[in-house]
Amino acid sequence: MKKILALLILISLMGFIACGGDDDNNDPSKPTVTLTPASVTVNDSSLTQTVSIGGTATGTVTLNTTELPAEVSAIVSDTTITVTGIRPTAEDASIDDSYTVVVTREGVTQNLTVVVNLTTTFDPTAPTVTFDPASVTVDDDNLTQTVSVGGTATGTVTLNTTALPSGVTATVDGTTITITGVRPTTENGSIDDSYIVVVTREGVAQNLTVTVNLTTTWTLASTPDPDFYGTWYNTGVFEKIVITEDTLVITTNGAVDTIENLFWTPIVGSGNYSIGYKFTGTIIGDIDDHYLFIHTDKQSLAGAQWNENTPSPNPQIILVKAADPDPAYYGTWVDEFEIEIDEGVSVPVQSTAVLTADTLTVTTEVEALDIFEESEYTIQAWVPISGSNPNYPTGYTLMIYVEEYDDYDYVQLFMHTNGESILVDDGEDGIVFDRWVDP
């Protein structure tokens, strides 16, 4: 019985191991890194080897080369690793060993084996080439570096600079090498890598390592559009925005938000509102964004939600550009009617509206009841609108301030095609006022 139980346990364990247990190393969703070839040999006859990086991992490739001897370097450019060896020059300095370079991409590491079989070129009478400093770094703050060539070699110093990136040059004058960098100007042109300049003198070649850390000078330009400048009103509520090159001022029912240091980023809408901008600025120390699109007629803006995945605007508010006051509406307009105060008893009522460029004065008089009421409103803006009544096709929304309530409101006026009456408010509840003619 014990033997049977032990056999069952063994079979169970074997099945667990065969299924991989809880090991998720074979998870196909995890990124992978592959090296082709997986190992390289650097020797006297093959001083340079390249390795291609594959797999599903993406992003920057980094190398840990701390194990490599001083005579062997490994650098990466995009997805290619270049391993370069130099034969030792010191006595008894030959190298015959294996080393590991750790390759990392997207958090995944892979070991590259570098076998080194380099014999010394030591010759007490042979010329040598040395550098001071041994390597240089060109960056935004140090665009020019110099290196002095020393050693016992004599004659002309020559350079092989084919490995250097565009914008970085190396020249030699006598025994002084000058490395010069120019910051890139394209959007994704920044350089962060190491390169080899091969320096040769009297037949002796020596590698000079040049590390380049240059950031691009490219910046996204703010592109103000004068078509957006001015004052715009949302006639549904008292809301206005004032746009200048540097500020976006939003007023809602008297509350004012000023967004400063405005940055204009072009975005694409659709239909009649195809041209738009993301407005980014500061308000009370915080960053604020607004998205506005202009109509093809340049007379209205759509305020919309927008993102890069759904670029077509979904207008939430429409803002209309204010117009100059219309003198055709100036003057006194009268509406006369009767109200029933008791069964079978009616009294006349006279309402008047007096319009100027800046004020609207409304009076209501019921002489029989000795009632006289008058209200004066300050007109903040005349905003053009269209009406639904064919006799009153166009008009204005007057954005007004009600001093009595310290609040903002609006009234809609539409002019009859004959110019002799105005309709106050569109729709079924509209009231017609006739132009006052002095008897």
Q: How do residues 42-93 score in pLDDT, each as one tens digit?
A: 999 999 999 999 999 999 999 999 999 999 999 999 999 999 999 997 878 8
Q: Sign of the C-alpha dihedral, residues 272, 277, 282, 286?
A: positive
Q: How confident is the model at residue 26 (pLDDT cuts 50, 70, 90)?
A: low
Token pair listed for 246: 């540097």
Contact 196, 208 (CB under 8 A): yes
CATH for 34-118 (3.40.190.290, 2.60.40.60, 3.40.50.1220, 3.40.80.10): 2.60.40.60
Q: Is the pLDDT of residue 130 over 90?
A: yes
pLDDT in tens, 354-365: 999 999 999 999
Give the side-chain half-sphere CA count within 13 A for 351: 13
Residues 254-263 have pLDDT tens digits of 788 899 989 9
Predicted confidence (pLDDT) at residue 118 exceeds the cutoff of 80: yes
Confidence of residue 271 (pLDDT cuts 50, 70, 90): confident
The set of residues, in sequence order, having a beta carbon less than 8 Å from that of 12 and lying 6+ positions away, is none
Of the two residues 428 and 138, the one the predictor is more confident about is: 138
Residues of the chain with pLDDT > 90, as a percent, come to 54
Which of the two residues, 245 and 17, has the higher pLDDT score? 245
What number is the average pLDDT over the span 115-140? Answer: 90
The alpha carbon of residue 2 and the mean position of all alpha carbons in its chain are separated, in whole angstroms, by 71
- 327-435, which class in CATH? mainly beta
Q: Sign of the C-alpha dihedral, residues 120, 125, 126, 131?
A: positive
Res 14: pLDDT:
45
Q: What is the DSSP string of 354-392?
A: EE-SSEEEEEEEEGGGTEEEEEEEEEEEEEEEE-SSTTS
CATH number for the segment(s) 130-214: 2.60.40.1080
Would you put residue 228 in left (φ > 0), alpha (ψ -120 to 50) or beta? alpha
Question: What is d(CA 64, CA 105) in angstroms, rounded to the nearest whole number?
Answer: 12
